[in-house]
Amino acid sequence: MNVLLLVLGLAAALALGAAAGYFFCKWRITARQAEARADARSIIEDARLSAETTRREAELAAKEAALEVKDEAEAEIRTRRAELTRLEERLDNRDAALDKRDAELDERRSELAHWEESLRGREAELDAREAEQVKALEEVSGLTRAEAERRLYNNLEVELEDRLGRMVRDRTLEAEERADMEARRITATTMERLASDITAESTVKAVALPSDDMKGRVIGREGRNIRAFEAATGVDVIIDDTPETVVISSFDPVRREIGRVAMERLVQDGRIHPGRIEQVVAKARKDIEKEIKNAGRQALYDAKISGGMHGDLLRLLGALKYRTSYGQNVHAHSVEVANLCGMMAAELGANVKVARRAALLHDVGKAIDHDVEGTHALIGGRFAKKCGESDEVVRAISAHHHEIEMETVEDVLVATADAVSAARPGARRETTEIYLERLRALEDIALNHRGVEKAYAIQAGREIRVMVQPSEVDDRVAAKLAFDISKQIEEELEYPGQIRVTVIRESRATEFAR
C-alpha cells in the first residue's frame, strides 16, 4: 500500500514536474519570441531610417550633378555664342571687303571698256594704213598680195628643203661614219684573231710517174687500160709530152681526187689492167668517202661546233674539201667563215651557236649535184632543213646571198663573214684579164654619169674615186650621184666583197699678184 502510494506519489510528482517544465518552457519560448519581435521591429526601423538617409543623399548628389551639367552646358553655350559672334564679325568684314572689291572691279571694267574702244579705233586705223601700204607695194612690185605670198612661200619651201637636205646628209654621213668605224673595228679584230691557210686548186691533177715507160702501161694495148680507167672514175686522163707525168682532168673535184688516188696506187703497184683498175678505183672511192666524213668531223671541230650533225649533211660538208670557188678552197672557206662569224656574234652579243653553225653550212649547196635547180644558198637551206637543222640556221644559210630577206642579226653576220673571208687579201685569185676588165668596167660606169670629169679605180678595185665638175654638181647632187653609181655597180658587175664609191667635188679660185 505504501509502495502503491509511493508510486502514485512519484507519478504525481513526475506529472507535476512535467507540467511545470512544460509551462516553464512555453513561457521561455513566448518570452524569446517577444524579444525576437522587438529586435526585428528595431532592425526594420533601423533599415528604414538608413534607406531614407541613402535616398536623401542620392537625391542631393543627383541635384549637384545636374547643377554641374547645367553649369557646363551654359558655359559651352556662352563659348559657342562668343565664337558665333566672332564669325559674324568676320563675315561682316569680308562682305565689306567684297563690296569694296566689286566696286574696284566695276571701275576697272569701265576702264577696260574705254581702252578696248580706243584699241578698236587704232586697229581700224592700222588696217586702213596697212591696206594703203599693201596697195602701194602692189603698185611698186607689180604683184598682188596673193602672188607675193605664194612667191614667199615658194622661197621658204626651197630654203627649208635645202636645209633639210643638208641636215639629212650630215646625219646620214655621221651615222655611216660611225657604222663604218664600228664595222671596221669588228672585222679587223676578227681577222686579226683568225689565221688560216688559203689553198688554190685547179681542174687538173698531175700524177708523177717513175719513168716515161709507165705511160705505155697506163694506156694499155690499143688504149684499153686508159678507157677502163676513165670509165671507172669519170675523169679524163691526159698523156702528153710532159716527161714522167700524167694529168687527171675533171670538173668534179671528188671524181678528180678519186682518179688521182687510184692512178697513184696503180702506178705504185705496177699491175695495170682493167680488172685491177676496177678494184683499185673501188678501194680509192671508199677511202675518199671515209676521208670526206673525217673532213666533215674535222670541220665541226675546227669551227668549235658541238651537238652533232646529220650524216648526209656532214658528208656534204666534208665534200667541200675537194671544191674551190674563185681559187679558194670551199671547205677551208666555210671553217674560216664560221670562226669569223662566231667572233663577230660574240662582239655584238648575238647567238654564237646559231651564227657558227649557219656560217659553217652556208656553202653546202655547192656540194650538191648540179641537176638540182636553184642557187647554192637556197639548195643548201632546203637540204639543211631536210636534215633537221633549226629554222634560224636554215634562214641564215638561204639569205647569205640575199635570195631571201634577212630577219636577224645572225643572218647579216653570216653574209658579212662570207664577204670578209672572200674579200681579204690572198683569199681568192683572178686572172689578169678579168681583173683589168673589172677595173675598166668600174671606171666606165662612173664616167657615163652627167657631171663626172674623171674616175679612178684604186685599191685593187675595192674603191672608185669620182671627180666631178663643181659647176654642174652641188653637194646634194654629189650624194645622189654616189648612190646611183653604187646601185649601177651592184646591178651590172660581179665582184667579191664590196666596192666603195667616193665622189669628190672641189672648187679652186686662182689669182696672181703682180
The answer to whether residue 36 sits within a structural domain is yes
Residue 206 grid coordinates: 698531175
Question: Which residues face 205 on adjacent strands?
Answer: 248
Span 397-402, average pLDDT? 82
CATH label of the domain that carries residue 405: 1.10.3210.10
- pLDDT at residue 425 is higher than 50: no
Rounded to an integer, the average pLDDT of 195-217 is 68
Q: Are residues 455 and 492 in the same domain?
A: yes
In a domain, 512, yes or no: no
Cell numbers that stand for 50 in this block: 538608413
Reported confidence tier of residue 429, pLDDT bands at 50, 70, 90: very low
Residue 26 lies in a domain: yes
Residue 188 is predicted with a pLDDT of 55
CA 361 – CA 405 distance, rounded (Å):
18
pLDDT, residue 307, reads 73
* Residues 254 and 288 sit within 8 Å (Cβ to Cβ): yes
pLDDT value at residue 186: 64
Please tell me whether residues 331 and 262 are part of one structural domain.
no
Q: Is 120 helix (H, G, I), strand (E, B) or coil?
A: helix
Q: How many helices (H) and strands (E) does the chain have?
A: 14, 8
Give the CATH number for residue 484.
3.30.300.30
**Spatial distance between the Cα atoms of 333 and 194, rounded to a whole number of angstroms:** 12
Query: Does residue 129 sit in the same domain as residue 172?
Result: no
> What is the structure's pLDDT at 469?
85
Q: In this structure, are 110 and 164 located in the same domain?
A: no
- pLDDT of res. 194: 52
Answer yes or no: are the C-beta atoms of 366 and 323 closer than 8 Å.
Answer: yes
Decide if 77 is inside a domain.
yes
Residues 50 and 159 in one domain: no
Query: How far is Cα of residue 260 from the mean position of the Cα atoms in its chain?
Result: 51
Residue 308, domain member (yes or no): no
| Tens digits of residue pLDDT in 261-284 | 888 888 888 888 888 888 888 998
One domain for residues 407 and 320: yes
Please check the confidence at residue 233 and state whether its pLDDT lies above 60: yes
Give the alpha-carbon dihedral of 154, 158, 163, 164, to 10 degrees: 90
Whether 514 is covered by a domain: the verdict is no
Helix (H, G, I), strand (E, B) or coil at 506: coil
Nearest CA to 336 out of 416, 253, 406, 421 is that of 421
Q: State the pLDDT confidence band at 430, using cuts at 50, 70 and 90.
A: very low
Q: How does pLDDT run across 410-420, given as a tens digit for each residue?
A: 888 888 888 77
Separation between Cα atoms, residue 329 and residue 495, nearest integer Å: 18
User: Is the same domain home to 376 and 392?
Assistant: yes
Q: What is the CATH number of the domain that holds 207?
A: 3.30.1370.10
* Together in a domain, 457 and 500: yes
In a shared domain, residues 324 and 402: yes
In this structure, are 62 and 162 located in the same domain? Answer: no
Which 3 state secondary structure label does DSSP give 444?
A: helix
Q: What is the 3-state secondary structure (H, E, C) of 145-193?
A: HHHHHHHHHHHHHHHHHHHHHHHHHHHHHHHHHHHHHHHHHHHHHHHHH
- 128 and 35 share a domain? yes
C-alpha cell at 261: 688516188
Q: What would the DSSP string read from start to end of 33-88?
A: HHHHHHHHHHHHHHHHHHHHHHHHHHHHHHHHHHHHHHHHHHHHHHHHHHHHHHHH
Percent of the chain with pLDDT over 70: 86
206 φ/ψ angles, rounded to the nearest 5 degrees: -100, 135
Question: Does 510 reside within a domain?
Answer: no
Position 43 scores a pLDDT of 85
What is the pairing mode between strands 245-249 and 236-238? antiparallel
Confidence of residue 187 (pLDDT cuts 50, 70, 90): low
158-180 per-position pLDDT tens digit? 777 777 767 777 777 777 777 76
The structural domain count of the chain equals: 5
For residue 494, give its domain range. 432-505
Residue 345 and residue 453 share a domain: no
Angle subtended at Cα 184 by Cα 183 and Cα 186, rounded to the nearest 5 degrees: 65
Sorting pLDDT into bands at 50, 70 and 90, what band is 55? confident
Assigned domain for 307 exists: no
CA distance 59 to 183: 107
- Which of the listed ranges 15-29, 98-112, 177-191 does the model predict with the highest average pLDDT? 98-112
The DSSP 8-state label assigned to residue 450 in this structure reads T
